[in-house]
């Protein structure tokens, strides 16, 4: 049969499968099932619809679901171990100690306090390429410190979400840029200034815009009175040591990469957690603490598993290809405007998978019309973290709410971010459109 003859049928098949996926998701939500179960329903529904047309055959469906469930296995391990590490630090009284110290030093120097806290959030994400690591490692203490500076929890969560997201885009490690660079054969070099300058400016804007206004005015003594006392015996070195161990292990590989064994982030967090446990002035039952932490993380981990399944089924059935095709087919001017939606939504749906599915063909196309690929990747890298606040995954958004202990609705938190969100979007798109004129940033980085 000629290809044109098949064309309508394949297109119709994939559209039909997409409709079934959406219907299965909607039906599950209507029956008040959780987000995770609804995503699973969409994956299974899409798979069964595809199986009718043997894309994939029914016998292969369990394998696709199992295999897809492992797509983000590494991320799951890092999340789990990093959260256990911070739980140990917190249980030892370290978090209270740090927050108390920060407030005592900078309470009356608001600008410096905000900028110092911003840098503290930026560093772990910039080093590891994961905003989640920023939140898991320093999210809880910085959230408390921001709270004691008189910023309401909703705004604190918004600050954490935006800055942690931008930290993942910051150099030296930007996983979106690395995935796209690897897929497009563009060297991962020259990104320092195109990424570093906008990340610093946008983080500063976000922190000051959301955090400058003090809603509660209290005296330092009053605030210190309210804060929980750290346990007796807690000291600066006891708090610092586990972090020194973690960052020491990260930096050791950077400084002596060919003499240092590769441990991986998960093991580095485990070692740091053991260090925190050993130097804790209070007795911690690490097994019970780990069990409770994993229980708390379970919805987030489940989301990662089922999103991987959905991604696999979408690819096997051609739905992912259809979406990628529609994006690439948009006329250039409309494409530039739609980046504001396409990039964050792809991240919200597929996390890093979005960079591969949308980012790689997009870069090939934009490069072919004369844009500067490195600056374009840097511009898109500012938009991807925004998607980490969007469902179904909403990884950074949910973690921000979790570490801040904000109990209001998720959407009310997300609405708080809208002005910095808009500014970040405009900067990202302008970098893409004027990438050829900004190529000096790449030259100066090299």
Partner 1 sequence: MAAIIGLLTVWGGLQLHRHRMYKMPIVAGPGVTRVVRLSDYSPGLKKTPGDTNVFFLEGKEKGGTVLVIGNTHSNEPASLLTSLILIENMTVEKGTVIVIPQFNYSGGRNTRPGDGYPLYFHIPTSWGEKKFRMGNRDASPLDQWPDPDVYIHYPDRQLLSFLDVRNTNRTWPGRPNGPLMERVTYGAMQIMRTEGVDLAVDIHGAETMFPVTNCIVAPEKSIRLATMVSLTVKAKEGFDSHVEPSPSGFRGLSHREIGDHSDTLPFLLEAPIPFLDQPTGPKTEKLLLDGKDPFLLKLAAKQKLFVPYDEEGWPMSKRVGQHCSVLLELMRQYSRKNPDRAIQVTNVPAYAEVIQNGVGFYYHDPTEADKRNVHYN
Binders of partner 1 in range 268-327 (CB under 8 A): 308, 311-318, 320-322, 324-325, 327
Q: Smaller CB distance to partner 1: residue 237 or 256? A: 256
Tokens coding 147 = 């709270």
176 to 171, 388, 399: CA distances (angstroms): 11, 12, 19
Footprint of partner 1 on residues 379-438 (CB under 8 A)?
A: none
Nearest to 440 by CA among 219, 227, 190: 190
Q: Smaller CB distance to partner 1: residue 232 or 257? A: 257
Look at phi and psi of residue 55 and say left if phi exceeds 0, alpha if psi is from -120 to 50, else beta: beta
CA atoms within 13 A on the CB side of 120: 23
User: Least distance to partner 1 from the beta carbon of 105, Å?
Assistant: 31
Tokens coding 342 = 């396409």
User: Least distance to partner 1 from the beta carbon of 92, Å?
Assistant: 25
Q: Smaller CB distance to partner 1: residue 242 or 318? A: 318
Instruction: Provide the 8-state DSSP code for 228.
Output: P
**Contact of 124 with 205, CB cutoff 8 Å:** no
295 to 78, 237, 238, 300, 302: CA distances (angstroms): 15, 30, 27, 10, 11
Q: Which one of 30, 257, 283, 295 is in contact with partner 1 (CB under 8 A)? A: 257
Nearest to 82 by CA among 236, 264, 352, 240: 264
Q: Smaller CB distance to partner 1: residue 56 or 281? A: 56
Instruction: Provide the 8-state DSSP code for 58.
Output: G
Q: Smaller CB distance to partner 1: residue 117 or 304? A: 304
Angle at 83 between CA 77 and CA 88, to 5 degrees: 130
Q: Which one of 15, 52, 66, 220 is in contact with partner 1 (CB under 8 A)? A: 66
Footprint of partner 1 on residues 153-182 (CB under 8 A)?
A: 172-173, 175, 178-179, 181-182
Q: Where are the beta strands (DSSP E) in 198-338?
A: none
Footprint of partner 1 on residues 101-140 (CB under 8 A)?
A: 127-129
Footprint of partner 1 on residues 43-62 (CB under 8 A)?
A: 50, 55-56, 60, 62
- Integer Cα distance of 201 and 311 in angstroms: 34
Q: Smaller CB distance to partner 1: residue 69 or 139? A: 69
Maximum C-alpha span of the chain: 81
Residue with tokens 């609705």: 409
Q: Smaller CB distance to partner 1: residue 232 or 261? A: 261
Footprint of partner 1 on residues 179-208 (CB under 8 A)?
A: 179, 181-182, 184-189
User: Least distance to partner 1 from the beta carbon of 312, Å?
Assistant: 5
Interface stretch with partner 1, choices 271-279, 363-371, 375-383, 392-400 (CB under 8 A):
363-371
User: Least distance to partner 1 from the beta carbon of 171, Å?
Assistant: 9
Footprint of partner 1 on residues 67-96 (CB under 8 A)?
A: 67-71, 73-74
Q: Which one of 250, 301, 366, 390 is in contact with partner 1 (CB under 8 A)? A: 250
């Amino acid at each position: 049969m000629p290809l044109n003859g098949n064309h309508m049928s394949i297109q119709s098949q994939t559209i039909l499968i997409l409709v079934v996926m959406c219907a299965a998701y909607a039906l599950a939500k209507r029956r008040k099932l959780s987000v995770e179960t609804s995503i699973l329903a969409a994956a299974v529904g899409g798979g069964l619809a595809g199986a009718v047309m043997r894309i994939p055959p029914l016998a292969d469906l369990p394998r696709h679901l199992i295999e897809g469930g492992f797509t983000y296995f590494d991320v799951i391990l890092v999340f789990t171990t990093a959260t256990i590490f911070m739980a140990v630090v917190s249980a030892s009284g370290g978090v209270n100690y740090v927050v108390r110290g920060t407030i005592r030093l900078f309470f009356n120097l608001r600008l410096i306090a905000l900028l110092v806290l911003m840098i503290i959030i930026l560093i772990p994400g910039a080093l590891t390429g994961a905003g989640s690591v920023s939140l898991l490692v320093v999210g809880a203490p910085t959230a408390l410190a921001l709270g004691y500076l008189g910023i309401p929890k909703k705004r604190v969560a918004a600050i954490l979400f935006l800055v942690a997201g931008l930290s993942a885009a910051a150099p030296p490690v930007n996983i979106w840029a690395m995935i796209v660079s690897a897929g497009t054969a563009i060297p991962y070099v020259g990104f320092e200034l195109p990424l570093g300058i906008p990340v610093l400016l946008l983080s500063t804007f976000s922190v000051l815009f959301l955090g400058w206004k003090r809603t509660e005015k209290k005296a330092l003594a009053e605030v210190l009175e309210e804060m929980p006392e750290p346990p007796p015996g807690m000291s600066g070195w006891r708090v610092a040591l586990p972090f020194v161990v973690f960052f020491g292990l990260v930096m050791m590989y950077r400084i002596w990469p060919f003499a240092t064994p590769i441990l991986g982030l998960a093991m580095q967090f485990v070692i740091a957690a053991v260090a925190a446990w050993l130097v804790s002035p209070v007795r911690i039952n690490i097994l019970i603490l780990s069990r409770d932490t994993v229980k708390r993380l379970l919805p987030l981990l489940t989301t990662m598993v089922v999103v991987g399944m959905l991604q696999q089924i979408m690819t096997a059935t051609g739905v992912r290809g259809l979406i990628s095709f529609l994006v690439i087919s948009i006329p250039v001017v409309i494409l530039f405007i739609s980046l504001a939606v396409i990039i964050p939504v792809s991240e919200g749906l597929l996390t890093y998978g979005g960079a591969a599915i949308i980012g790689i063909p997009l870069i090939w196309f934009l490069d072919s019309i004369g844009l500067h690929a490195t600056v374009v990747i840097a511009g898109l890298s500012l938009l991807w973290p925004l998607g980490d606040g969007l469902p179904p995954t909403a990884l950074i958004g949910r973690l921000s709410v979790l570490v801040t202990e904000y109990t209001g609705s998720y959407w009310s938190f997300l609405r708080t971010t809208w002005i910095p969100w808009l500014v970040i979007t405009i900067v990202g798109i302008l970098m893409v459109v004027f990438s050829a004129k900004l190529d000096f940033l790449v030259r100066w980085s090299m």
